[in-house]
Amino acid sequence: MKTQVCVIGGGPSGLLLSQLLHLKGIDTVVLEKHSREYVLGRIRAGVLEHGFAKLMREAQCGERMDREGEIHEGFLIAHDGRLDRIDLHGLSGGNSVVVYGQTELTRDLYDARARLKGTVIHDVEDVRLNDLHSGRPSVSYRQGDEVVQIECDYVIGADGFHGVSRKAIPRTVLREYEKLYPFGWLGVLSRTKPVSPELIYARHERGFALCSLRSQVLSRYYIQVPLTDSVDDWADDAFWAELKRRLPDEVAARLLTGPSIEKSIAPLRSFVAEPMRYGRLFLAGDAAHIVPPTGARGLNSAASDIYYLYHAMLAHYQRGDDSGLDGYSAKALARVWKAQRFSWWMTMLLHTFPDRIDYERKLQQTDLDYLLSSEVAQRSLAENYVGLPF
């Protein structure tokens, strides 16, 4: 089999790039380890930057997002029994975010790929990347007993943190930066009316909590839990009771509870791999970087990689200009590190750290006091949360 661009990973990064390139007449093949149903069963991100929403429209995938997604012009910070609002719209010069689940967004991308008869191959095993430093790289995979080889011009590693693409870069070339946090987020999806029309990020001495939503009838809540906890330790009633304890009384009083329809724990991690290019391989999204979810940057950082790669590929195929491909790693990493800084900062601001000394606790309190009393500090938060320019 032959294609121009072989994309490894059928998550949002891989599908979006494949769709954008297809619309410009560039041939792609997407290889995905799991079935479509499995990929669509994962509940992950919920907040899209306005730049990401624009890219979805450019990919002709924005229709349902624009109809069903909610525009959010602010969010709330709960602390010390009260609520303060961050006016994203006013503070960022008129920008906002779209609340639209990653599951729905991925479904729209799969539907769009099917509409255009794009090649997306599911249930591939033993994916291998070959000859990345030659002018003619290839990717092989196995499906049942059959081994297939795809010859291509470029390979895109969009196969997430646990994928094979990053591992194809020699250890002598790859540098990895990592920080682990001593807790995870326990997330619950429930078919209940959200407690608040805007997201609530709650700081509490018992641990962080987040009230989010997918629609006016579907809520998404998270609480900080120790890494040693498992989902089985948290019956629904225990989850709701703990969430209520971490919210201001007036919010807890109006929280509607119900059976969980999904419950999972995600550990918090910061991670960056450099460089994001090796020969004819380009890494994108979680394959190259992970953020703790606090600032809602994970999926959005993937989108900015795709934006840069898309334009670099267009310049190559349409004008024979390789400057975008040559500059991809440096350009993508500059923005990735800003998302890292912001996610780390929001995580440090809002979580309870078991081994913090009193001095650090005082600084954390002062950081929050400063944020809530300074318009300059809030502008910085808003600028990062709605998304830095691509």
Name the residue nearer to ligand DHB (CB basis): 9 or 46. 46
The dihedral built from the CA positions of residue 6, 59, 74 and 250, taken in this order, carries a sign that is: negative
CB-based contact 88:384 (threshold 8 Å): no
Binds 13, which of ligand FAD, ligand DHB, none (CB < 5 to 8 A, cut-off by type)? ligand FAD
Tell whether residue 8 is a contact of ligand FAD (CB under 6 A). Answer: yes
Q: Find which of ligand DHB, ligand FAD, none residue 190 binds, CB within 5 to 8 Å per kind.
A: none
- Fill in the per-residue mask, 259 to 278: x = in contact with ligand FAD (CB under 6 A), - = not in contact: -------x------------
Q: Which is nearer to ligand FAD, 44 or 335 (CB)?
A: 44
DSSP string, 336-354: HHHHHHHHHHHHHHHSPPT
CB of 343 to ligand DHB, least distance (A): 9
348 contacts 364 by C-beta, under 8 angstroms: yes
Please choose which of ligand DHB, ligand FAD, none residue 3 contacts, taking the beta carbon within 5 to 8 angstroms, the exact cut-off set by kind: none
Residues in contact with ligand FAD, counted by CB under 6 A, come to a total of 31
Binder of residue 169, out of ligand FAD, ligand DHB, none (CB less than 5 to 8 A by kind): none
Write the CA distances from 111 to 15, 53, 116, integer angstroms: 10, 17, 9
CA distances (Å), origin 374, targets 90, 366, 381: 14, 12, 11
* C-alpha angle 41-219-235 in degrees, rounded to nearest 5: 75
How would DSSP label each residue in 186-245? Answer: EEEEESS--S-SS-EEE--TT--EEEEEEETTEEEEEEEEETT--GGG--HHHHHHHHHH
Q: Map residues 275-314 to x or -, x wherever contact with ligand FAD holds by CB under 6 A.
A: ----------xx------x--xxxx--x------------
Q: Which does 220 bind (CB under 5 to 8 A by kind): ligand DHB, ligand FAD, none?
A: ligand DHB
**Is 102 an interacting residue with respect to ligand FAD (CB under 6 A)?**
yes
CA atoms of 224 and 150, how far apart (whole Å): 44
* Dist. CA 14–CA 288, nearest whole Å: 13
Closer by beta carbon to ligand DHB, 47 or else 251: 47
Among 160, 184, 207, 292, binds ligand FAD (CB under 6 A): 160
Cβ–Cβ < 8 Å for 136, 150: no
Residue 62 makes contact with ligand FAD by CB under 6 A: no
Minimum distance of ligand DHB from residue 286's CB (angstroms): 14
Residue entry with tokens 């999926």: 299
Provide, rounded to whole angstroms, the least separation between the CB of residue 187 and ligand DHB.
7
Whole-number Å distance between alpha carbons of 65 and 272: 30
Would you say 199 or 251 has its CB closer to ligand FAD?
199
164 contacts ligand FAD (rule: CB under 6 A): yes
Q: How far apart are CA 230 and CA 264, in angstroms?
A: 8
List the interface residues with ligand FAD, window 22-61 (CB under 6 A). 31-34, 39, 44-45
Cα torsion at 87, 92, 94, 95 (round to 10°)?
-90
Q: How far is the CB of 133 from ligand DHB (least distance, A)?
A: 38
Find the binder of ligand FAD among 17, 21, 158, 251 (CB under 6 A). 158
Q: Does 132 bind ligand FAD (CB under 6 A)?
A: no
Closer by beta carbon to ligand FAD, 232 or else 358: 232
Residues near 105 by beta carbon (within 8 Å), at least 6 away in sequence: 12, 48, 56, 61, 65
Residue that the structure tokens 């004819």 belong to:
280
Residues of this chain that bind ligand FAD (CB under 6 A): 8-14, 31-34, 39, 44-45, 102, 124, 127, 158-160, 163-164, 266, 285-286, 293, 296-299, 302
